[in-house]
Every structure is written in structure tokens, then in C-alpha cells.
Chains A and B, each alone.
Chain A
């Protein structure tokens, strides 16, 4: 059985800078894979390429058997590959509940035609989404805020809402770009639990994160990148002794952990 996500010889340059090159790795279904490496290693670029926010210069991105390389982001998302961003991106002027409803896959519902002629049917179809959204918001402690604009939430609450939206969307795979940015340690634990629960609910996670203790706690396996290419792949524990990894990145950091 092939991996859920297969990346082969991915390449992307910005002018003379090779942000990502010879990038090949797999993400197995049901895993939480960490993507780590020093600043400028090409981790975020790799996430942008896989999620369709950047177009690769060369290489293959195969998701669930489909070659999605070069697809626009919205089509990649509709295949069940959803991503989050380094800075929180909630729809600030819309309510928390609207944020949840917008995360639910609503293919075919968002047309002018249906809004005019089948409004009652649409409301009924949406009731199921609302019930699910309320339950999820309850789990994240956001239920009492459901009618507030998402822009009014605190930084940590926005992060929780982002994970809540993923639960609502139920994609096959989630790409997370530094989910702990701007989050205090207590909330970090909750977010870590949330991410583990994503996998319990049948999703697969690939996440860029600089906080190595967090990565060690949450991720079963890691891909280490340096200078645009993966240099090692495996459980973080085993990689600590890998000389290439230590040389590229972990040297000082491990010492300080």
C-alpha cells in the first residue's frame, strides 16, 4: 500500500535561491509526521508547494494516488488536503459559527441558484453541520462564543478555532505550519492533544514545528530538512545520533533541551 502523500524530487527556486530541491519523502496514512530543520531549510516552502499555494518547478506530489502537483490550492483542498498557516487565519469579520460552517465541505451548496430556489433545503442540510459544529466548539471551550466575530477571540482561542475547523472539515490529511506560534505552554498541551485527536479521528498530519520537545511528544516520525532537501527520516529519538542531522541542525538545540 503506497503512502498517503508521496513527494518525489520536488524543486522550487526563487531567483537564484534553491528553496527546495531533490525533496523526496513519504507520509504514511494515520501518522503524525514532523517536518523540522533550521530556518531557511525549505520547510514552509515545501508545505506551500504540497498545498498548492506555490507551483513547483519540477517534481511529483502524489496525494491519495492523485498527482496534485501544480494544482490550485482550492482543488488540492477539495481532495481532502487542508492546511493551516503560521499566523492564525480565521475569517475575522464572520462569527465563530460561520467559521465552522465555512470549514465544512459544502460542495454544490454555494451557488446563487440554490440560494434562491432551494433555501429551505439548504437550511436543512446545514442543520447537520451546525449540530456537529456546536459539539466540536463545546470540546474546545468555544461554544459560548459561537455568535461572536472570530476577530474578537484571543490569539490562543484563534488557534483552537483553527483546529476546531479542521475537525469540522474532516479532511484526509492536514498540513500544519507551526501550530504553536504565539501559543502559551498550557495551551500548547491542549493543541498537542487536539492534533493527536485529529489522527484518532482518522486524519493524517504533517507539521512544521520548531519546538522540539513538542515534536518529540506529538510526532511519531520526523523528516529533517536542511538547505532545501530532506537529510533524514525516522523517529526523532533515533535521529539524535545521526551525524548529518546533528551537524545540520540538532547540535546546539539538543544540548539545550
Chain B
């Protein structure tokens, strides 16, 4: 039972990292990105082929690299891969496309990525998949099989906290504010000197880097990865978490992913089984997630924790002490 809880908690923590990255793209920047899970997958694959031994040692699977380098290198490469791929996709998709057109383009991107990786089995071993991933840091720690998952949970949690603190700082910074202004009205943002394309692209790359990082953590958690482990539809689960938890709110989306993933995925496991209908459990799960989204959208359309509002705190003088009038006081003629 403890193993089971640790496993679920780790999955929740890793998915929380995923959803934080998607929240930058959708919550802050306002771009409905369907390709997101593809960037997680790229992070997972790149980390895997960097940390795994050469493919020649594992016939019949084939994959690139196989460097057997440490996890830290693999994770950094995964971040970089997520960022670079986002730069390529975003540079094309964000130039002119908005709304539905952008969403369809990213859906196509995800499908192309999946088609290429599944059909060319020489890159990431296609449907055979990559397996036997190392336990990060365990060559140093030498923890036994019962203790290591607890360490890995703690490690993922530390990464989640770091990502969260980074994004909180960014949310309130001039950059975060500019990105949100682009979401609210990009024409007005341009009229006040904002390079909308550059801002959106930066946000998109940031989201991709976080996806890559999450992918690296995920692949070592799973221990194996293949094409059937990811599909564009997974992105929708992350969107469900964002809608339920609160679009744009870092804390909200973390709450959302734990509600949607952990609560609904796992609690529905305990539903009674109906003989002859093995699909009942998974189907009931999806229906319940759907109902949860509807309930939230009906009674709390901004999510359980809506996007926080900036409070202007006067840190120097009380308002009344500001001398004169900035508007009428400047011109000599008034």
C-alpha cells in the first residue's frame, strides 16, 4: 500500500510539473496548444537515449545516441530539446495564427511527431520502446528497492517546488505582466510597444523547456517509454486540470492536476466491476472527469483558484502625499 501511494504521489508531482508548463502557454499567454504532450515525450526520449547504454547492446531495438551519461546531463538535454523544438514550432505557428488556427496547427504538430517516431523505429525504437532506464542518483546512493521510490518522490517534489517558485516570480514580474497583457489584448499590447511575437515565443519556449524537464523525470519514473505511452489526448487531461484548478494560477493548476489525476483516476479504481464489461472503470473515469469540468465551468468558471489579482501596495508614501497633479501640474500654461 505504501508503494502504491508513493507511486501515485510521484506521478501527481510529475504531472504537476507538466501542467505548470502548459499553464504558461494557455493560462498566461492564451494559446491553446494541443502539441504539449509531444514536448514532454521529446524530453522523455532525449533523456532516455542519453542515459541508456548503446543500442548495439540491446538487439533488436535500435535508437540514436545511447551515451550512458548521467541523469543530470540527460535532464538538461531534455530541457534543451523541449525548448529548441518549441522554438521551431512556435516560430512558425505563433507568427500569424491565433485561436482555432493555432490549435489545429499544434494538433497536426503532435500527430506528425508521433507518426515520425512510431514509423522510423531507428530514432527512439518506435513501438518496441526504450526500456531499462536507470534510477537517477542511485549509483551513488545505493538505496534498496523499497526506499528508492521515496527518495525519487522527494527529488521530484524538490524539482516541482523549484519550478513553482520560478514561475511565481515570473508571473508577477514585468515579463509575466506583459505576457498576460498579450493574452488580454495583443493589439493594445503592440500599440504600447510590445513585440507580441517575441513575447509569445518566449512563453512558448519556456513551456516547452518545463515539458522537457517533466518528461525526463517521467521516463525514469516509468522505467520505459514507447509511442503508446503518449498521445495528443493526454494533453486534454492537463487542460482538464487547468480548467478545474484555475486557469493562470500556478497553485490552482497544481490543485487541479491532483484532483483530476489522483482523485478521479485513482478513486474510480474502487468502483465495483461489472462482469462482462471490463471497459466500465476507464469509461466511468472519463465521464467523471467530464462531469467535474462541467460542474466547475457552470458554478466556478474561473476554476477553484482563479488567477490572482495584483495588489498595488504603496511601499513608500501614502497616496495623498504625492505632491501636486501629474496631469495638470506639468504644463506651464495648464
Q: Indicate the size class of the contact surface on chain A.
A: 35 or more
The segment out of B110-118, B145-153, B307-315 that lies at the interface is B307-315
A204 at interface (Cβ–Cβ under 8 A)? no
Q: Which of B170, B189, B312, B322 contacts A95 (CB 8 A)?
A: B312
The segment out of B64-72, B191-199, B253-261, B292-300 that lies at the interface is B191-199
The segment out of A16-24, A84-92, A215-223 that lies at the interface is A84-92
Q: How far is the CB of A142 from chain B (nearest CB, A)?
A: 12
Question: A115: which B residues are within 8 A, CB to CB?
Answer: 169-170, 173-176
Interface of B is mostly: loop
13 A-B contacts (beta carbon < 8 Å): A72-B195, A74-B195, A94-B310, A95-B312, A101-B174, A102-B181, A114-B174, A134-B312, A134-B319, A135-B324, A147-B310, A149-B309, A197-B327
* Contact across chains for A90 and B185 when beta carbons are under 8 A apart: yes
* Contact across chains for B202 and A197 when beta carbons are under 8 A apart: no
* Contact across chains for A106 and B174 when beta carbons are under 8 A apart: yes
Q: How far is the CB of B53 from chain A (nearest CB, A)?
A: 36
Q: Which of A74, A84, A119, A126 contacts B196 (CB 8 A)?
A: A74
Q: How far is the CB of A140 from chain B (nearest CB, A)?
A: 7
A50 at interface (Cβ–Cβ under 8 A)? no
Please name the residue on chain A nearest to B316 by beta carbon.
A127
B325 at interface (Cβ–Cβ under 8 A)? yes
* Contact across chains for B331 and A200 when beta carbons are under 8 A apart: yes
Q: Which of A49-105 contact B (CB under 8 A)?
A: 51, 53, 72-74, 77-78, 82-85, 89-95, 97-98, 101-103, 105
Please name the residue on chain A nearest to B187 by beta carbon.
A89
* Contact across chains for A136 and B315 when beta carbons are under 8 A apart: no
* Contact across chains for B316 and A131 when beta carbons are under 8 A apart: yes
* Contact across chains for A91 and B174 when beta carbons are under 8 A apart: no
Q: Assuming the A-B contacts A102-B192, A105-B193, are A110 and B184 also in contact, with contact meaning beta carbons closer than 8 angstroms in the complex?
A: no
Please name the residue on chain B nearest to A97 by beta carbon.
B312
